[in-house]
Amino acid sequence: MVRFMIRRLLAAIPVLWIIVTATFFLMRLAPGGPFDKERRVSPEVEANLRTKYCLDCPLWQQYLTYLGPLNLNPGQGGVKAFGGDGSRPWSGILTGDFGPSFKYANRSVGSIIAEGFPVSIHLGGMALLFAIIMGMVPGLVAALRQNTAWDYGSMSAAMLGVSIPNFVLGPLLVLVFSLTLYWLPPARWDGPRYWILPTITLGAIYAAYIARLTRGGMLEVVRQDFVRTARAKGLPESLILWRHTLRGGLLPVISFLGPATARLLTGSIVVEKIFLVPGLGRYFIDGAINRDYTLVLGVVLFYSSMLIMLNLVVDILYGFLDPRVTYD
């Protein structure tokens, strides 16, 4: 088990490296640069910034500088990143430093992630909770009352949920609950009343998926021979459900929850933009638009690590739920 975890974590290193490399060069392929958008700075200042951030070095040098504590910048003690006073050299992501943001002067990518991530986790966590409750309960009911109005009703709702993208659902909810009924605020993140619409918008599609997976998984297990055995033993239906079918029936949901959790917790780009939630997703969009290379790279790297970690957690959880899974 420990060996399995170590192996998986080691295997993650090349994966992350490939992701970083690909993102790095893809970003540079995109036309424009960090200082194109806001031409408020004078050419001299921009030139200054360019040397400071080493944007005029050859690409491979920039790449190596980004990666590690490699002093490849002639004439300077590494790339000086902060406040122009050279107080903190940027030592590269291998040392855990995501570097400075190109757009937000005087801020490091690390501090931006540290600021946006808690908000994203908050929103994502609530959306996750919403999705699990609103997915599993109707899914279970649908499976246990197959081919009844309950089943058809919840599955139609789930179908609808799967097919409405959140950039449609969000504005729709705002239109109804904020602009027509005046029940809930349309945007921002200032208190519980503000949390409701973004949570629903973000969680709805996941709830729909979970409902379908729960129903499918349960129906699959309910017709297994061992459930008939449980009945033949005289067990009451409630115990059969709780002890014999739930575990197997929820396995598909568990494996879906891994990547879903990663996606939810790292912030939803679209939902954060719609509702002006100050989470990581919004920074990511702004970063991409502004060609804020380091910010985008940092967020991508952070997101990928989360994804890898959560998938590992799911695999371990899977092993606890299904004894046939071995870690060799």
Partner 1 sequence: MKENDQPILSVRDLRVSFATEEGLVRAVDGVSFDVRRGQILGIVGESGSGKSVTNLAIMGLIPMPPGRIDGGRVLFCGKEILGVPEAEKRKLRGDRISMIFQDPMTSLNPFLRISLQLTEVLELHKRISRKKARRHAIAMLDLVGIPDAAERIDDYPHQFSGGMRQRVMIAMSLLCEPELLIADEPTTALDVTIQAQILELLKKIRDELGTSIVFITHDLGVVAGICDETLVMYAGKILEKGSTRSLFASPSQPYTRGLLRSVPRLDLGRKEELTPIRGNPPYLLDRSPGCPFLPRCDFAVDKCGEEFPPRRQVAKNHDVWCWVEMEGSAG
Tokens standing for residue 62: 């920039």
User: Applying CB under 8 A, which of residues 17, 226, 242, 327 lies at the interface with partner 1?
Assistant: 226
CA distance 214 to 155: 11
Cβ 273 to partner 1 shortest distance, Å? 43
> Which span (159-167, 182-190, 230-238, 300-308) binds partner 1, by CB under 8 A?
230-238
The answer to whether 145 contacts partner 1 (rule: CB under 8 A) is: no
- Could you say which residues in the range 82-141 bind partner 1, by CB under 8 A? none
CB nearer to partner 1: pick between 42 and 238: 238
CB under 8 A, 24+ apart: contacts of 308-317: 308/12, 308/15, 308/16, 309/262, 310/258, 310/259, 310/261, 310/262, 311/258, 311/259, 311/262, 312/5, 312/8, 312/9, 313/258, 314/254, 314/255, 314/257, 314/258, 315/8, 315/258, 316/1, 316/5, 317/254
Side chain identity at residue 2, one-letter code: V
Cβ 231 to partner 1 shortest distance, Å? 6
Instruction: Tell me which residue has tokens 């004894």.
Output: 323
User: Applying CB under 8 A, which of residues 248, 252, 279, 298 lies at the interface with partner 1?
Assistant: 248
The answer to whether 1 contacts partner 1 (rule: CB under 8 A) is: no
The answer to whether 168 contacts partner 1 (rule: CB under 8 A) is: no
The answer to whether 149 contacts partner 1 (rule: CB under 8 A) is: no
Cβ 224 to partner 1 shortest distance, Å? 6
Cβ 218 to partner 1 shortest distance, Å? 14
Query: Site size for partner 1, by CB under 8 A?
Result: 21
The answer to whether 247 contacts partner 1 (rule: CB under 8 A) is: yes
Residues composing the chain: 328
Cβ 145 to partner 1 shortest distance, Å? 13
Cβ 225 to partner 1 shortest distance, Å? 4
CB nearer to partner 1: pick between 76 and 148: 148
The answer to whether 56 contacts partner 1 (rule: CB under 8 A) is: no
> What values do phi and psi take at 100, rounded to 5?
-85, 155
53 contact partners, CB below 8 Å, separation of at least 6: 34, 79, 81, 100, 102
Cβ 219 to partner 1 shortest distance, Å? 13
Nearest CA-CA partner of 203 in 303, 126, 294: 126
User: Applying CB under 8 A, which of residues 43, 149, 324, 328 lies at the interface with partner 1?
Assistant: 324
The answer to whether 322 contacts partner 1 (rule: CB under 8 A) is: yes
> Which span (3-11, 52-60, 104-112, 238-246) binds partner 1, by CB under 8 A?
238-246
CB nearer to partner 1: pick between 167 and 226: 226
> Where do contacts with partner 1 occur on this chain (CB under 8 A)?
224-226, 228-236, 239, 243-244, 247-248, 321-324
